Amino acid sequence: MDFSRRQLLAAGGSLGAAALLSACGGDGAAPAAGGSPRQGGTLRIGALGRPSAITRDPHGTQGNESDYLVIALVYDTLTAPGDKDNTVGRLASAFTPSKDLKTWRFTVAEGAAFHDGTPVTADDVVWSLRRLRGTPSGAARLPGVTADRITADGRRTVVLVSDYANAELPLLTRLTTFVLKKGTADKDIPGAPGTGPFKLDWYRDGNARLLRNAHWHGGAVHLDAGEVTMFQSPQAMANAMLSGQIDVASNVGAVAARTAKARQDIRIVRRPDDMAMPIVMRTSSGPFADPKVREAMKLLVDREAMVAQVLSGYGTVANDILGTGDPAYARDIPQRRRDLGAAKKLLTDAGFDLSRTYRLVTTEDVAGLAESATLFASQAREAGVKVEVVKQESGAFYQKTWLKGDFYTNYWGTNDSVVFFASKTLTTGAGQNEADWSDTAFDAAYRKVLATADRTARTAALRGLQRIEHERSGYLLWGMADGIDLAAPKVHGLPKLPGYGRVQLENVWLAP
């Protein structure tokens, strides 16, 4: 991810004016290196996924990278990650706040239409957002906005009213606000027309073929078609890439990059600072409820070794604060470093039971995740803490461990906003509060950030929020992994943005 280029969503004085957007489809449409974009060809792209986690619902839980890729190509979200600005328009061409920052008006882009030619209306967007809000994780996806406060004002204006001032509300519409036709029945979802740059040709067991939408409102789409192949392991996907069966191995991981490094016929595309891979400690109960214990765990990890060994150097050391790509990320907060003496003292002071063995649960969904757990367990032993690594299959992990466990690994691919993580995972009662953390001072700091329109003042408030997170949250964030794609030399224009940005392929083109 090109986080260094990120800027905060236009705020402060600029919030009083319409946040008109330069273009739909993000602002990463500059011609790629290697010549001028040309139209034509079929891109064969591999992505990770498991049959047990397949979903076709754009408002469902997309545990598979392959499903997320297909859905993101067929459907548009209201906004998207941007290059110069953190949030830019996608299906919405503009978004404008009220003075009190509670009401936001989104304008549907001129010319936006479904794949069957039907124009997209505000009613379609309202219906889709209400449907999204009605999912089990709807409150986390649109926090502060209830379904009855999502309304249409005319054919092209959608109005969202928040329960509280929220200067960052458009940022929350970047991920899964995929828009379908109003009234689409659940049984029709798999074949429902979208508004995105590609339309579905066929889908079989996680694999799909998509055709160019020549009438996409966001501009020219270069590829004639894309073929998505689901792989159950990074190794299998890397092997397919090395043998020429696919043109791109998406998010394939550091081990594959190391293998491909010597190959002249394969490019390694790095998206720095792309993925957070924290260890989550439950704060409300269990062995990590004592802040001194959590602090000890953060002090016993050797972060440099984790980056070097788990990520093969394709990453950077982190400091227990999520959202490292945010332009307002507090780099002046002192980096936490390994201190076994201090860790042991904290554990003693907390009365931590060193005779027990603690289970660290992980999954192999993402390359490096299980390896990080194993290396951490090894490092913990040097402080006298016995850790047993338990690997769970993806479905079991998300059903039994995620949001519930005392001690587990996790990953997040959207790291360009501190506020995003605060709203989703850290405030009291947040829908995806993975550590079950509740901190009155943190909640107050979060509200202050959202209610502050002035950019400078908001950055200062955001620092206070990060300081609290660094001091006592349930996240041990040891490092940031680069996003890594492997690509054939003929592939140009691959996205370098995070999250939803990384799966936008409308600017990809193939050299002859």
Q: What average pLDDT is seen over the chain?
A: 90
Is 219 within 8 Å of 504 (Cβ atoms)? Answer: no
Side-chain-side CA neighbours of 505 within 13 Å: the count stands at: 31
Lowest-confidence segment of 216-220, 348-352, 420-424 by average pLDDT:
420-424
Mean pLDDT within 289-300: 98
Asked if the model's pLDDT at residue 174 lies above 50, the reply is yes
- Give the pLDDT band of residue 496 (cuts 50, 70, 90): confident
Concatenate the DSSP letters of all residues of 321-345 into one string. -S-TTSTT--TTSPPP---HHHHHH
What pLDDT is stored for residue 301 in this prediction?
A: 98
Is 1 within 8 Å of 480 (Cβ atoms)? Answer: no
Cross-strand bridge partners of residue 386: 357
Concatenate the DSSP letters of all residues of 88-100 into one string. EESSEEEEEE-TT
Same fold, 37-74+196-247+488-511 and 273-482: no
Domain boundaries, the chain: 37-74+196-247+488-511, 76-186, 273-482
Instruction: Give the CA angle between residues 42, 502, 305 to the nearest 5°.
Output: 125
Pairing mode of beta strands 42-48, 225-231 = parallel
Asked if the model's pLDDT at residue 96 lies above 90, the reply is yes
Alpha-carbon distance of 468 to 321, in angstroms, equals 9
What would the pLDDT profile of 341-373 be if each residue is shown by its tens digit?
Answer: 999 999 999 999 999 999 999 998 777 899 999
User: CATH topology for 76-186?
Assistant: Dipeptide-binding Protein; domain 1 (3.90.76)
What pLDDT is stored for residue 29 in this prediction?
A: 38
What pLDDT is stored for residue 34 in this prediction?
A: 61
Domain spanning 37-74+196-247+488-511, CATH architecture: 3-Layer(aba) Sandwich (3.40)
DSSP code of 501? G
Amino acid, res. 153: D
Q: Shortest CA distance to 87 belongs to which of 7, 16, 146, 154?
A: 7
Residues sharing a CB contact under 8 Å with residue 243, sequence separation 6 or more, in sequence order? none
Is 270 within 8 Å of 483 (Cβ atoms)? Answer: yes
Instruction: Give 273-482's CATH code, choosing from 3.40.1130.10, 3.40.109.10, 3.40.50.720, 3.10.105.10.
Output: 3.10.105.10
Tokens coding 484: 């890594």
- Give the pLDDT band of residue 172 (cuts 50, 70, 90): confident
What would the pLDDT profile of 26-37 be if each residue is shown by its tens digit?
Answer: 333 344 456 789
Instruction: Give the CA angle between residues 12, 154, 106 to the nearest 5°.
Output: 25
Phi and psi based region of residue 12 (left: phi greater than 0; alpha: psi -120 to 50; beta: remaining): left
Alpha-carbon distance of 327 to 316, in angstroms, equals 17
Instruction: Give the CA angle between residues 159, 165, 171 to the nearest 5°.
Output: 65
Is 296 within 8 Å of 346 (Cβ atoms)? Answer: yes
Pairing mode of beta strands 357-363, 386-392 = parallel
Tokens coding 502: 């990384």
Alpha-carbon distance of 163 to 143, in angstroms, equals 9
Cross-strand bridge partners of residue 487: 248, 267
Asked if the model's pLDDT at residue 309 lies above 90, the reply is yes
Q: What percent of the chain has pLDDT over 90?
A: 72
